[in-house]
């Protein structure tokens, strides 16, 4: 609930929403948030929209949880993230099957942010880690996320000057193929394949990325791509059920 004070600022209201979400340890509906925060409906939705825009809150199927940017502030994000919970077991299985690293990546404010990571057990492995963010420009994860954004969201993330015909054609090809591949675009010597994670209504909520040292998987790309695409499809079914 809101603290007793003569005047409560908008910042205080936003923090009340974040604190409430963090304390529950699970996603909450708007009705639950109304009861727990004591905010009016209009104020609550105003705060949620602002927090979502900044990436501090994530909405999935009408439920709210701490968002990707909160990962950089609190390790407790894992407990409340519906997406991370649904994807974790499949990520572990994919990492074991492929013997390579697997990441869960989302797009926030023009950045691709890794919200979960299963590291390869091999001594030579990728350096991408949980919590890392990179500009939403290059690499399989970023291009997969961009390819499945609505036009308005893509325009907001990139701006009109960076939406070249070549990039738009590449993103259309990724949507059609169902995956994106890159080699050395973000980190030298790292190959990656990324497939979208789709929730209800076929809305992309993130991307599953399998990454490996380029030298180790030369000539092995097709089976690794197939593994990633099949795993992403299984996670998407669980998100939509």
Domain ranges of the chain: 10-80, 82-240
pLDDT in tens, 1-16: 444 443 457 788 898 8
Q: How many CA atoms lie within 13 A of 161 on its CB side?
A: 0
In the sheet that holds 111-118, the strands lie side by side as 133-135, 111-118, 101-108, 204-213, 190-198, 180-183
| pLDDT beyond 60 at 153 | yes
Q: How far apart are CA 149 and CA 138, in angstroms?
A: 15
Highest-pLDDT range among 58-62, 78-82, 139-143: 139-143
Give me 72's structure tokens.
């950089």
- CATH for 10-80 is 1.10.10.10
Task: Note the pTM of the prediction, 2 decimals.
Answer: 0.70
Rounded to the nearest 10 degrees, how much is the dihedral formed by the CA atoms of 86, 91, 96, 98? 140
Write the CB contacts of 179 (distance below 8 Å, at least 6 apart in sequence).
140, 144, 193, 194, 195, 225, 228, 229, 232
Least confident range of 9-23, 81-95, 139-153, 185-199:
9-23
Average pLDDT of the residues of the chain: 86
pLDDT in tens, 212-234: 999 999 999 999 999 999 999 99
In this structure, which topology does domain 82-240 adopt according to CATH?
Answer: Beta-Lactamase (3.30.450)
């Amino acid at each position: 609930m809101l603290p007793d004070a003569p005047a409560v600022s908008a910042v205080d209201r936003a923090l009340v929403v974040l604190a409430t979400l963090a304390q529950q340890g699970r996603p909450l509906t708007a009705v639950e948030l109304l009861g727990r925060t004591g905010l009016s409906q209009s104020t609550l939705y105003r705060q949620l929209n602002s927090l979502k825009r900044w990436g501090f809150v994530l909405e999935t199927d009408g439920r709210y949880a701490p968002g990707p940017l909160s990962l950089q502030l609190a390790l407790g994000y894992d407990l409340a993230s519906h997406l991370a919970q649904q994807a974790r077991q499949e990520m572990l299985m994919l990492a074991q099957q492929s013997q390579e690293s697997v990441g869960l990546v989302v797009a926030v404010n023009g950045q691709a942010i890794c919200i979960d990571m299963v590291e390869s057990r091999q001594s030579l492995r990728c350096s991408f880690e949980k919590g890392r963010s990179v500009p939403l420009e290059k690499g399989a994860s970023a291009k997969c996320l961009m390819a499945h954004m609505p036009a308005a969201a893509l325009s907001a993330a990139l701006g009109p000057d960076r939406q070249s015909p070549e990039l738009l054609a590449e993103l259309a090809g990724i949507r059609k193929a169902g995956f994106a591949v890159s080699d050395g675009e973000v980190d030298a010597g790292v190959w990656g394949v990324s497939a979208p994670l789709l929730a209800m209504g076929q809305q992309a909520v993130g991307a599953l990325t399998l990454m490996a040292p380029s030298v180790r998987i030369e000539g092995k790309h097709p089976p690794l791509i197939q593994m990633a695409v099949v795993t992403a499809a299984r996670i998407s079914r669980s998100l939509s059920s």
